[in-house]
Amino acid sequence: DTGVSQNPRHKITKRGQNVTFRCDPISEHNRLYWYRQTLGQGPEFLTYFQNEAQLEKSRLLSDRFSAERPKGSFSTLEIQRTEQGDSAMYLCASTDTGYSTIYFGEGSWLTVV
Amino acid sequence: DAKTTQPPSMDCAEGRAANLPCNHSTISGNEYVYWYRQIHSQGPQYIIHGLKNNETNEMASLIITEDRKSSTLILPHATLRDTAVYYCIVRVPNSGGSNYKLTFGKGTLLTVNP
C-alpha cells in the first residue's frame, strides 16, 4: 500500500479564488473522510463518503465547500471564493468495509492571502 | 465533542518510558480506545487501539484499566522523534452510527528532551 495521498501539499491563493484538493485513498478502501485542522486545534470532521455516496456533512462545510468522489475512488474538495478563515490544513483519511483503522494522508496546507 | 480528557502537555527524557494518560469515564461497552499521534505539520498517525485487554505493538503499549474509565499509552524508550501531539479517542469501529468517525480533542503535546 502506498498510503493515503493528497495533492497539492501546499497551496497559496488570493482571497476570492477557488482551490481544489485531491485525495487518493488506500486501494480498496471504500470509506473516505475529509477533516480540517487549524493551528493549535485537533482535526475537525468535514465530510464522509461511502463509495461515491456522501453520507454526512459537518456544519463546518459551508456552501462554498463541495466534495465529490465520482467513482468511489479518489475524492476532491473544492473551496470557492476563498476567505482568510479558510487557511488551514485539509486532511483526507480512508478505511475499509469493517470501519476498522482509519489512516490519514499528510494533509494539504492552504494559505489564503 | 470529544469524550476523552488528556493533559495538555508532558515532558519525557530521551530513552525513558513515556506514559501518556487518558480519561474516558463515560466510555460505552462497545467503544474502543484509539491512539493517534501527529508530528508537526504531518497527518495523524495511527498508533494502537484496544477494547479492554492490554495491547502491544511495535510502536507502543496500551494499558486499559479494569473499569475501562482510563487508559495509558506507553512508549517504552522515547526518542526525540516521538515528540508529537498524542490523541486519545474513543470510537466504535464497526458501526454505521455517529461513532464511526474519529472525533479529536486537543491531545497531549509530548516533548522528548535530550
Structure confidence by residue, pLDDT tens digits, A37-93: 999 899 999 999 989 999 889 988 889 999 999 988 999 999 999 999 999 999 999
For the beta carbon of residue A23, count every other beta carbon within 10 angstroms: 26
Q: Report the alpha-carbon distance of residue A106 to residue A108 in Å, rounded.
A: 7
Q: Which residue in A has a C-alpha nearest to residue B42's C-alpha?
A: A106
Q: Give the bridge partners for A47, in sequence order.
A: A34, A57
B15 has pLDDT over 60: yes
A60/chain B closest Cα distance in angstroms? 14
Q: Do B103 and A45 touch (CB under 8 A)?
A: yes
**The pLDDT of residue B2:** 56
Which residues of chain A are within 8 Å of residue B3 when distances are taken between CB atoms? Answer: none
Closest Cβ opposite residue A41 in set B43, B93, B106: B106
Are the Cβ atoms of A105 and B107 closer than 8 angstroms?
no
Strands B9-13 and B108-113: parallel
**Would the pLDDT of B99 be above 70?**
no
C-alpha cell at B97: 452510527
User: Which chain B residue has the Cα nearest residue A106?
Assistant: B43
For residue A47, give how far its alpha carbon lies from the nearest alpha carbon of chain B (Å).
10
Beta bridge partners of A102: none
